[in-house]
Amino acid sequence: MSVAIEVRGLTKRHGAVTSVDGVTHSFAPGGITAVVGPSGSGKTTTLQLIAGLLEPDAGSVHVDGVDVTALPAHERGFGVVFQSYALFPNLDVVENAEFGLRVRGYARPERRRRALEALERTRVAHLAHRRVGALSGGEQQRVALARAIAFAPRVLLLDEPLSALDAQLREALRLELGALLRELRITAIHVTHDQVEALCLADELVVLAAGRIEQAGPPHEVYARPATPFVATFLGAANLVDGEVVRAGGHTAVRLPFAELEAPADAPAPGPCRVVIRPEDIEVARDGGVSAEVISAAFHGDQVRLGLAAGGALLRAVVPNDVASAVGDRVTLRFKPEKLRLLPRRVEA
């Protein structure tokens, strides 16, 4: 049965450095939450505090409304998958999968049954009697996941479980992991630095920076409506352009260095703003818009990434691979008002 996890004012200091700074958040039961952020943002420390592997300096952890902050890790009933997998080389695959069941006192027949069932779910039951040293990285990842789910944990915590894999295998296992978690309907908190992994896998994103939550919400919403310039540039690529919201003739516009465009419906009050424009939201044509010069063009197979100069501003655009543009070409740019994201901007005196 899925449970709700809540952290309140969670804080952890390491000497003079505050790794986690007053984090408060509710993780929905049965959902997959991806906690993302750059190195040093406090992702893994937050996970370890939730798991009970670290003691917070302040704040608390709650499971279905019950404060478990004082409970040691082994009494919380959480499954954990570590970045290093933490498998035992002296044990074979099924013995590794049994380990959590053994320390919880399950009888051998029952723990063997549960372990084999978990290995079947993660598609490595045929390797049950092989030593872990003879496994590939992807197989080891599956064994570590099987060990974590074998005792039917209330919550599954995953710390960069796919980071050691090559890109192609990582993508395949990402799909498998998402399908498995949804099949189990388990509350999962997945720490990753990989933005694509987070966007693909999660029902919810929590974006951390310097130990604090910058933004949380459904992946499509956080990506399309970043709350801060940091979120905009961390989750994918973004053009950040200084502009000004103006009202004239009964309508609202945003004045940019290269054009005055219709403002989106949620534009802030008139004044300085920072405009977020995703590269994929810039349409490139030959006429009928904002004039720009192509200053770079990089072919990426299914797309072309352009560098553009428009009115003194440098922009990046991602266009289909059949859009013929070469360095030095003059092109026309089109922008959709509903795709623009306007953030307030302070002007220093």
Q: What is the pLDDT of residue 60?
A: 97
Mean local confidence (pLDDT), 257-272: 90
* pLDDT recorded at residue 234: 93
How confident is the model over 275-295, as a mean pLDDT? 89
Element (H, E) at 194: none
The yes-or-no verdict on residue 101 having pLDDT over 70 is yes
Residue partners of 169: CB distance under 8 A and separation at least 6 = 137, 138
Q: Residue 349: pLDDT band by 50, 70, 90 thresholds?
A: very low
pLDDT > 70 in the chain, percent? 98
The single residue listed with the structure tokens 């419906």 is 265
User: What is the residue extent of each domain of the chain?
Assistant: 5-233, 237-344
| pLDDT over threshold 80, residue 90 | yes
Report which of residues 322 and 124 the model is more confident about. 124
pLDDT value at position 1?
60
Predicted confidence band of residue 136 (pLDDT cuts 50, 70, 90) = confident
pLDDT of the residue at 250: 79
pLDDT at residue 176, as a whole number: 83
Residue 2 pLDDT exceeds 60: yes
The model's pLDDT over 155-167, given as tens digits with 9 standing for 90+, comes to: 999 998 887 677 7
Check whether domain 5-233 has CATH 3.40.50.300, yes or no: yes
5-14 and 303-310 beta bridge pairing: unpaired
Burial class of residue 264 (count of CB atoms within 10 Å of its CB; 0-12, 13-18, 19+): middle
Domain 237-344, CATH among 3.20.20.140, 2.40.30.260, 3.40.50.1370, 2.40.50.140? 2.40.50.140
Mean pLDDT score, 329-348: 86
84 confidence band (pLDDT: 50, 70, 90): confident
Residue 317 reports pLDDT greater than 90: yes
pLDDT of residue 194: 86
As a whole number, the mean pLDDT across the chain is 90
Say which residues have a Cβ less than 8 Å from residue 22's Cβ, sequence separation at least 6.
Answer: 9, 10, 11, 58, 59, 212
Tokens describing residue 285: 């044509």
Neighbours of 213 (CB within 10 A): 18
Phi, psi of 49 (to 5 degrees): -65, -40
pLDDT tops 60 at residue 30: yes
- Residue 286: pLDDT above 80? no
Mean pLDDT of 224-234: 94
Amino acid at 305: R
Q: Tens of pLDDT along 167-205? A: 777 777 888 888 888 888 889 999 998 888 899 889 999
Which of the residue ranges 59-63, 211-215, 297-301 would you say has the lowest mean pLDDT? 297-301
Upper half-sphere CA count for residue 330 (Cβ side, 13 Å): 6
